[in-house]
Chain A
Amino acid sequence: MHSMPDSDSLTAQFSAAMTRRQFFRRSSAGIAIGIPALATLLGDDGFAADSATDPKSGGLAGLPHFPPKAKRVIFLHQSGAPSQMELFDYKPNLVKSQGVELPDSVRMGQRITGMTSGQSSFPVAPSIFKFNRYGRSGTWISELLSHHGKIVDDITIIKSTYTEAINHDPAITFVQTGFQQPGRPSMGAWVTYGLGSENQNLPAFVVMVSQANALNPDQPLFSRLWGSGFLSSRYQGVKFAASGDPVLYLSNPPGVPSPTRRRMLDGIAKLNRLLAEKYGDPEIDTRVAQYEMAYRMQTSVPDLMDLSKEPESTFELYGPDSRKPGTYGANCLLARRLAERGVRFIQLYHRGWDQHNDLPRDIALQCRGVDQPSAALVLDLKQRGMLDDTLVVWAGEFGRTVYCQGKLTATNYGRDHHPRCFAIWMAGGGIQRGLSIGKTDDYSYNVLEDPVHVHDLQATILHCLGIDHLRLTYKFQGRYFRLTDVAGNVVKKILA
């Protein structure tokens, strides 16, 4: 039995938060002199300064719009687009159609990428992997994801997600910013802009990237995926580096021991305060506070990254990769540690799912890196009681075609990009457990039931955080922009 969220305490926290915001809004009426000392990592730029900004959290006053079920999000982005047919969308009957031309009645003239549009034939390539049933729900899951078998009763699988883009750049930008072209804020930036930070020592929005297990080349990533678009740059994600300083320039330079650094900071603070007396500019006070915050980060980040105090059982849970910094396994473990420390939006990117050829070889390698840590994260959050208020999302940017790209053989094939359906899962705060929704046609080509558009997914994520996606807006170039652009419906069916 998983523990039910304590509605009393959630409600109480919600009320407390609202009252506190109210208080701060009042106390900061007019100009916020003195408030900068409270400023968080989000800082204050006077650019997008909104009179409705809550100076404590840096979020908007009046948010959340309703009691949130989740306080934070861990988004496990499987970059390159995993094949749904090999993982979650079980199509046992396809074996019979091996090599048979995909019927036109299925494709219905829908556009395909420039990579296979030149193919004269679109032969069906059934998955060569076995599926097994797991959990009380008896959900079919691929043999490649045996560890997921342990969490099927904790997650909701959506086999009917679909998107509009058919290539990586626009598709991944669409999932993360709600728009295919650059220029819009990322989901994490929207959430941070709306809800602010929950901690004083770490960024509110952290990004980590891990490299492919597969052999085929990776798709590139772009910092716009965690950028702030037209929102203030204070809302952009902070990408932790896989090696060296996790946060850029975190360490003191060689030859500057910490007592010396402390003395420097004290000196700088004194001088800046003297300046503030002269100029009266509240920005100077804010800067003084930022120096203290930076100093705290120098302790809190290494503490976060230091896995030496994790018990052996943690590494057993997350698998051997979790000991190797920079791997997906290690990043999943760090995601849990970030969540524990009140980081609002944690975004992982795992590269290497773009299997146009040699799919069987590469997807197997890829799953070896991804299966156990993904499942472990859910189990770990659950055993710590954090799954109730943490939303975990596991998704790529689109699916893959049932027809083979390149040469089809009994053991080898490739798959092109496919926007019309793909499988993702969600778990935790606000989401039902042990549910599977969405039905695709016999070829895993078109959605038959429960279509979930990318904007629906985004609306649902915001909903779990207590945000009405229609009401989280920002006026830019005269228009009130939203993460969900002009669309999006909360997927009520999966809400707990």
Chain B
Amino acid sequence: MLFDGTIGRAHKQLSSLRLLRYPLSLIFAGGSLVLSFLLLIAGALLARPQAASQGGAAGARQVTPGGSVVFATQIRPILAARCYPCHGPDVQQHGLRLDSLQAILSGSANGKVVIPGDSQNSHIVRRLLGLEQPQMPYGGPPLPAEQIDLVRKWIDEGALGPDSSEPVVAAAAPINDVKAAHSASEKPVDFNRDIRPILSDACFTCHGPEEKSRQGNLRLDIRESAFAEHNGYRIIVPGSSATSRLYQKISSKDIAFRMPPAWSGRSLTPKQIELFRQWIDQGAKWQSHWAFDPPKRSAIPEVKDKTWPKNPIDNFTLARLEGEGLKPSAEADKATLLRRVSLDLTGLPASPAEVDSLVADKSPDAYEKRVDHLLESPHYGERMAMPWLDLARYSDTHGYHIDSLREMWPWRDWVIAAFNRNMPFDEFAIEQLAGDLLPNATLEQKIASGFNRNNMINFEGGAIPEEYHVEYVVDRASTTATTWLGLTMGCARCHDHKYDPIKQKEFYRFFAFFNTVPERGLDGFEGNAAPVLSLPTPEQQQQMDDLKRKIAAALTAMPENDVLALRNEWQKTRLATLAEPTRDALAMHYPFNDDLSDAFSRHDGKLVRGEITYEDGPAGKAAEFRGESEANLGQAGDFDLHQPFAIAAWVNLYEEKGKVLQKRDASEHWTGYELGLEDVAFTRRQERNLRVVVRLAAAWPASAIEVRTKNRVRMDSDHHLLVNYDGSGKVAGLKIFVDGTPWETETTKDDLRGSFRTSAPLEIGNKNIGGAFKGRLGDLRIYTRTLSDTEVEDLAVHLPARVLLTKLGGTPASEIAALQPEKPPDEADIGELEKAEGKEQKQARLEKQDQARLSEYFLKHDAPEKYRQSYSQLVELRKEKDKLEKSITTTMVMAEMSKPRDTFVLGRGQYDNKGEKVTPGVPAFLPPMPEDLPRNRLGLAKWIVDPSNPLTARVVVNQYWQQHFGTGIVKTAEDFGSQGEQPSHPQLLDWLATEFVRTGWDIKTMQRLIVTSATYRQSSRASHELIERDPENRLLARGPRFRLAAEIVRDNALAISGLLNDKIGGPSVYPYQPAGLWEEMAFGQGFSGQTYTPSSGPDLYRRGLYTVWKRTVPPASLTIFDAPDREKCTARRGVTNTPLQVLTLLNDPTYVEAARALAQRALRMGGRSDRERIDFAFKLATARTPDPQERDVLLGSLSQFRSTYRRDQAQVTKLLSVGESKPDSTLDPREVAAWTTLASMILNLDETITAE
């Protein structure tokens, strides 16, 4: 043990600790320990009155050196101050009471805590020192070392009394003088601004909305309770802090009496306590939470400086500045301002020409005209979409587990277009929440509803559908609440919200709106998950209509009932007329009827290794080999160069390659032959396909034949394979039949010279020679001649029919599955219990399968000709339709189930813990849904954008403010609830919100209002004093200055360099990315989105928002600049400043190539002198020309680079080869190299990646 016997040392450590002020920002969000403490609050806040005592304070007393410690005066005050809250008269944690000597010595429920004479082994000391956990006092700062010394000394001296009979108990002693009315010098205290945030953070956990943990039936989040009388005490007495129990509690110096209790980890600062006093003495004016009241449009404030404001925004900000004694900053120069507003509104920099034209335009509204122009740019929609995609957790992959690709870009493009055509925000909201439910919903409106399909989706093998379905719906409810209402609704999933008045039941009523989508709990294997909207091109649509018509016609031509009758009649007699496969020259036949014997007993097989089981196969039984198992068929199949033969078998391979049969010796140049399946190719999902490969070798590879089929067979599925060899020794004499049909082959070797005969046995699976076999093998036949095409067909096609006819006997089929119209996809698999298939169910399923196969045989071979023709047409048409369907773009959308799923309150939020059934509804603290609105998503959407909703407009304008100023008026853009930050300019926020609604939710008008304000136009330069006073620029005494968002860092560099491909919309693209990032973490082949192949050509230079977003491996160069992973709704991004960003800007090929392009641009168009060219490039990046000092730095660097690259051609070649675009061959490569390096410096400037 580290500190055994080293308490002295621990003291030293604690003396240094003493200096620390612990940040008491902890909380106990739950847990049994906490629950057991909860009584305390009830007790303490409502405790009976105690006798006053001045002895509460502790620790400051002097110890007389050498003297013995006096319990009553030296120890008890310490205990009273720090221990009584949990081990005092009101509460005894773990049965321990420390308020009398007797109680101390009797210990806790766990035994003694004080061993007189032995402080070292006294638990109380060990706990105080932190040698045992949890350290005491629990949750609070440790005792000062000298106090612990005192306790130790007291124990070592024998833990003696005398004890005073009266326990030292705390008292509610008002500390401050009572003031009847507030003095004139006091500023009025604003409840919402000053008091509620403190109550919320420090008190609501136990005296808030959540019922379960509420103490003493006291709520401090609602007026009725806070002002009522509790147990004979008035909690808040307006005008009289002294008689207000609340104030007595929070201001008490007696720690045992004081609120919040020490263990809670919360404490109030003297300033906060004083605020309470003032608030109560000023009359205790209560307000409901600001964000839950409708915005009030206050009068435009009067300001002293009448010349500064350009629109009402400025009156609000200036009034605040004047109140703070600050002045706004000067307007930024036109160039800086244009660059800022261009990046803010389009995410692209202003071109030098645009800068020059603005500078030259002396008209008073020159800037405004540019703003209008930017708002009309098609890139405006892209810029506005970026934060919206974060909120919508938009991504190109499903997110969970295998994280394969989905297609939601049609929704993304809808968002861009909606912003560009300035769709009013209320429509924008309604269409995204419920576009599918609008009357006669258009295609576009349905696409819009995809907002709430952007949630993550899972299909991990083994996952429980219902569990994940609940997650999807929770995510929709939480995302909708964050995006439109700024509410942390998800907090009420497991219990009532602790801070905001949202009951758990209300969460599930909100959840119910999103719970009736006809979706599956596990989906997405093959791309988009139902429900999807197919978006064919007009041409594809026509093809599809055409195919559907033809399929319907084909089905009409074969009425199922007629065909069924014929088929069942046929079934009775067909077996008798069906020919058996030929036995002519059949040398060996292994039916695998529970052993490896040959039907002719010529070469019985034997099991050499592992195990084999016998199962039903398509033509009788089949032997299952487990990979390690190995069978030896002796000298069966002993052939040579000139001996014709045929080998046939049913094969079902379970692995990605396998040797079906081999007869080859163990030598290095093996001699013999083998039949295998190799060269896996993946199609969709886990569908793997393999070529059939046959090899004959006299000596490999010099003298051998190797052929392989061009097409592939499916893994994990039964196929009949047959090899015909005519004894010619040539490839031409070798034919491979698959499922009864000769398959085209490709020859990889045709050079067999000499005998391939070997004495090695014929084997199935030998991992040492040839290879292992894991799969099923049935009806193995070896002929000493080649078989004709019809004979092959007998084996591959008719024999299975014989087997089926025999097996089914006279049992007729009740349907012909192949002739039934396509069923719509299942609505849902959610809620189905995991049940093992019973024996009978299994039998019924297998029989149905057999009947279907037999029907198919009938329709293919024996039905009347007209039906055979129609059927073969039908099969072809369905294949075509399948292919066409896969080529059509789809997007996931919302829809409603025909029979809506019920919603229940889920205990502790768990999917399998269903409680009360609930109907859709909105939380009671918000305005009710009007009667005439439907109780579905459409009703919800209309309620959300109803002007009576206090949150929506505020939340949205705050998002816009954040986009332009870096920080919202409410900094916690994601939380407008009681734990969120207060608005810096509440009246401004309300004014903007009402203005937004007044102008018909006109988004562009709102952008224009913000960016044409004098507030926005200020220069972002700031004095040290200002930065010190207002580091986050919450007062807005200067213009915004912040690093560009991740996508814009990229777009900006591409635009500056001229590489940018400004195409809008379409499927996402794959820019350069270091190799292996996806692959290293992927599931492997068989699913989409597991490997990353960079795009080529113009797609490499698309804007960042089009970069393919894989949630489990988000785009590296974007996340390095703080882009989120899009797993969850994100309302604001952080802005970090890290060395990884440096490495990206300096070394990522995107930026190196951009630097070269910028260099070439400067060399071609920047003028003739270095100076002109530097100015040109610098201006592209920063919208200004460098000042002389800066230019000198750049010129100096250039001359150094020039001398390097003039000397070193090899480096020039290397540098110019970075990136796919070709270097400009008309320029001197050495110059291009030197300028590339210089351009890279320019792209790396803080100014280049910052809007300032």
Interface residues of A (CB under 8 A from B): 5, 7-8, 10-11, 14-15, 18-19, 22, 30-31, 33, 41-48, 52, 60-62, 65-67, 69, 111-120, 166-169, 181-183, 209, 211, 217-224, 227, 232-234, 238, 241-245, 247-257, 259-261, 263-264, 266-268, 270-272, 274-276, 278-284, 286-287, 290-291, 293-294, 297-298, 358, 361, 407, 409-412, 416-417, 463, 468, 470-471, 473, 475, 477-482, 485-488, 490, 492, 496
Interface mask (B1117-1149 → A, CB under 8 Å = 1, otherwise 0): 101101001011000111111111111101111
The answer to whether A15 and B12 touch across the interface, beta carbons within 8 angstroms, is: yes
Shortest A128–chain B CB gap in Å is 12
Asked whether any CB of chain A lies closer than 8 Å to the CB of B382, the reply is: no
Asked whether any CB of chain A lies closer than 8 Å to the CB of B1194, the reply is: yes
- Alpha-carbon gap, A11 to B488, bound state (A): 43
The answer to whether B1023 and A280 touch across the interface, beta carbons within 8 angstroms, is: yes
Shortest B837–chain A CB gap in Å is 6
Asked whether any CB of chain A lies closer than 8 Å to the CB of B1112, the reply is: yes
CB-CB under 8 A for A62 and B1142, given A115-B461, A280-B1024, A463-B133: no
The answer to whether A290 and B1135 touch across the interface, beta carbons within 8 angstroms, is: no
Shortest Cβ distance from B403 into A: residue: A220
- Of the listed stretches B303-311, B338-346, B1239-1247, chain A binds B1239-1247
Shortest Cβ distance from B609 into A: residue: A411
The answer to whether B1112 and A287 touch across the interface, beta carbons within 8 angstroms, is: no
The answer to whether B1027 and A31 touch across the interface, beta carbons within 8 angstroms, is: yes
Shortest Cβ distance from A231 into B: residue: B1134
Query: Can you report 10 A-B residue pairs in the complex whose CB atoms are below 8 A from each other?
Result: A47-B1133, A65-B135, A117-B835, A253-B1152, A255-B1216, A267-B1241, A271-B1190, A287-B1246, A290-B1137, A470-B139
Could you say which of B9, B1083, B1217 contacts A217, with CB atoms under 8 Å apart? B1083
The answer to whether B1137 and A224 touch across the interface, beta carbons within 8 angstroms, is: no
Asked whether any CB of chain A lies closer than 8 Å to the CB of B1031, the reply is: yes
CB-CB under 8 A for A416 and B462, given A253-B1152, A468-B133, A477-B491: yes
Could you say which of A119, A257, A487 contacts B836, with CB atoms under 8 Å apart? A119
Shortest B1211–chain A CB gap in Å is 5
- Alpha-carbon gap, A487 to B32, bound state (A): 8
7 smallest CB-CB distances across A and B, nearest first, come from A255-B1215, A478-B979, A113-B462, A117-B834, A486-B30, A47-B1134, A255-B1214
In the complex, given contacts A7-B6, A270-B1193, A470-B28, what are 12 additional A-B residue pairs having Cβ atoms less than 8 angstroms apart?
A: A5-B2, A22-B20, A45-B1122, A62-B23, A69-B2, A118-B836, A181-B471, A253-B1149, A272-B1246, A274-B1189, A280-B1021, A488-B31
Asked whether any CB of chain A lies closer than 8 Å to the CB of B464, the reply is: yes
Shortest B1118–chain A CB gap in Å is 11
Could you say which of B611, B1137, B1152 contacts A409, with CB atoms under 8 Å apart? B611
User: Which chain B residues lie closer than 8 Å to A286 at the CB level?
Assistant: 1137
Asked whether any CB of chain A lies closer than 8 Å to the CB of B1074, the reply is: yes
User: Which chain A residues lie closer than 8 Å to B779 at the CB level?
Assistant: none
Shortest Cβ distance from B1215 into A: residue: A255
The answer to whether A279 and B1021 touch across the interface, beta carbons within 8 angstroms, is: yes
- Alpha-carbon gap, A264 to B1234, bound state (A): 11
- Alpha-carbon gap, A248 to B1144, bound state (A): 8
The answer to whether A250 and B1143 touch across the interface, beta carbons within 8 angstroms, is: yes
Shortest Cβ distance from B32 into A: residue: A487
Asked whether any CB of chain A lies closer than 8 Å to the CB of B600, the reply is: no
The answer to whether B1041 and A281 touch across the interface, beta carbons within 8 angstroms, is: yes
The answer to whether B1143 and A297 touch across the interface, beta carbons within 8 angstroms, is: yes
- Alpha-carbon gap, A114 to B16, bound state (A): 56
Asked whether any CB of chain A lies closer than 8 Å to the CB of B570, the reply is: no
Could you say which of A62, A252, A290, A297 contacts B20, with CB atoms under 8 Å apart? A62
Could you say which of A279, A417, A477 contacts B1020, with CB atoms under 8 Å apart? A279
The answer to whether A67 and B130 touch across the interface, beta carbons within 8 angstroms, is: yes
Interface size on B, as a range, is 35 or more
The answer to whether B1245 and A249 touch across the interface, beta carbons within 8 angstroms, is: no
The answer to whether B1139 and A470 touch across the interface, beta carbons within 8 angstroms, is: no
Asked whether any CB of chain A lies closer than 8 Å to the CB of B975, the reply is: yes
The answer to whether B1139 and A223 touch across the interface, beta carbons within 8 angstroms, is: no
Shortest A209–chain B CB gap in Å is 5
| Contact residues, B815-874 vs A (CB, 8 A) | 834-839
User: Which chain A residues lie closer than 8 Å to B1084 at the CB level?
Assistant: 217-218
- Alpha-carbon gap, A199 to B891, bound state (A): 48
Could you say which of A15, A242, A266, A471 contacts B1080, with CB atoms under 8 Å apart? A242
The answer to whether B1137 and A268 touch across the interface, beta carbons within 8 angstroms, is: no
The answer to whether A44 and B1075 touch across the interface, beta carbons within 8 angstroms, is: no
The answer to whether B460 and A11 touch across the interface, beta carbons within 8 angstroms, is: no
User: Which chain B residues lie closer than 8 Å to A61 at the CB level?
Assistant: 20, 23
- Alpha-carbon gap, A308 to B122, bound state (A): 54
Shortest Cβ distance from A219 into B: residue: B1083
The answer to whether A487 and B31 touch across the interface, beta carbons within 8 angstroms, is: yes
Asked whether any CB of chain A lies closer than 8 Å to the CB of B1022, the reply is: yes
The answer to whether B837 and A43 touch across the interface, beta carbons within 8 angstroms, is: no
User: Which chain B residues lie closer than 8 Å to A361 at the CB level?
Assistant: 627-628
- Alpha-carbon gap, A276 to B1215, bound state (A): 31
The answer to whether B1241 and A279 touch across the interface, beta carbons within 8 angstroms, is: no
User: Which chain B residues lie closer than 8 Å to A60 at the CB level?
Assistant: 23
The answer to whether A183 and B1027 touch across the interface, beta carbons within 8 angstroms, is: no
- Of the listed stretches B394-402, B506-514, B710-718, chain A binds B394-402
The answer to whether A490 and B133 touch across the interface, beta carbons within 8 angstroms, is: yes
- Alpha-carbon gap, A7 to B12, bound state (A): 12
Could you say which of B28, B200, B1215 contacts A253, with CB atoms under 8 Å apart? B1215
The answer to whether A264 and B401 touch across the interface, beta carbons within 8 angstroms, is: no
Residue among B20, B458, B978, B980 with most chain A CB within 10 A: B20
Could you say which of B17, B980, B1152, B1204 contacts A260, with CB atoms under 8 Å apart? B1204
The answer to whether B471 and A223 touch across the interface, beta carbons within 8 angstroms, is: no
The answer to whether B1144 and A260 touch across the interface, beta carbons within 8 angstroms, is: no
User: Which chain A residues lie closer than 8 Å to B21 at the CB level?
Assistant: 62
- Alpha-carbon gap, A428 to B292, bound state (A): 53
- Alpha-carbon gap, A166 to B980, bound state (A): 36
Could you say which of A43, A279, A482 contacts B29, with CB atoms under 8 Å apart? A482
- Alpha-carbon gap, A297 to B1080, bound state (A): 23
Shortest Cβ distance from A236 into B: residue: B1119
Asked whether any CB of chain A lies closer than 8 Å to the CB of B27, the reply is: yes
Shortest A368–chain B CB gap in Å is 17
User: Which chain B residues lie closer than 8 Å to A69 at the CB level?
Assistant: 2
The answer to whether B1136 and A233 touch across the interface, beta carbons within 8 angstroms, is: yes
Could you say which of A224, A298, A480 contacts B27, with CB atoms under 8 Å apart? A480
User: Which chain B residues lie closer than 8 Å to A282 at the CB level?
Assistant: 1027, 1031
Could you say which of B3, B30, B134, B1136 contacts A45, with CB atoms under 8 Å apart? B1136
Shortest Cβ distance from B912 into A: residue: A111
Shortest B1188–chain A CB gap in Å is 11
Shortest B63–chain A CB gap in Å is 23
Interface mask (B724-739 → A, CB under 8 Å = 1, otherwise 0): 0000000000000000
- Alpha-carbon gap, A280 to B1026, bound state (A): 9
- Alpha-carbon gap, A198 to B1043, bound state (A): 28
Shortest B135–chain A CB gap in Å is 6
- Alpha-carbon gap, A223 to B1021, bound state (A): 38
Shortest A37–chain B CB gap in Å is 13
Could you say which of B10, B978, B1193, B1247 contacts A267, with CB atoms under 8 Å apart? B1193
- Alpha-carbon gap, A222 to B1136, bound state (A): 22
The answer to whether B626 and A412 touch across the interface, beta carbons within 8 angstroms, is: yes
Shortest Cβ distance from A227 into B: residue: B1125
Asked whether any CB of chain A lies closer than 8 Å to the CB of B1076, the reply is: yes
The answer to whether A167 and B1134 touch across the interface, beta carbons within 8 angstroms, is: no
The answer to whether B1252 and A279 touch across the interface, beta carbons within 8 angstroms, is: yes
| Contact residues, B1163-1206 vs A (CB, 8 A) | 1187, 1189-1190, 1193-1194, 1196-1197, 1200-1201, 1204
The answer to whether A479 and B456 touch across the interface, beta carbons within 8 angstroms, is: no
The answer to whether B834 and A263 touch across the interface, beta carbons within 8 angstroms, is: no
CB-CB under 8 A for A478 and B462, given A281-B1041, A496-B1: no
Could you say which of A43, A222, A238 contacts B1112, with CB atoms under 8 Å apart? A222
Asked whether any CB of chain A lies closer than 8 Å to the CB of B916, the reply is: no
Shortest A30–chain B CB gap in Å is 6
The answer to whether A478 and B1233 touch across the interface, beta carbons within 8 angstroms, is: no
CB-CB under 8 A for A496 and B2, given A114-B462, A120-B837, A248-B1116: yes
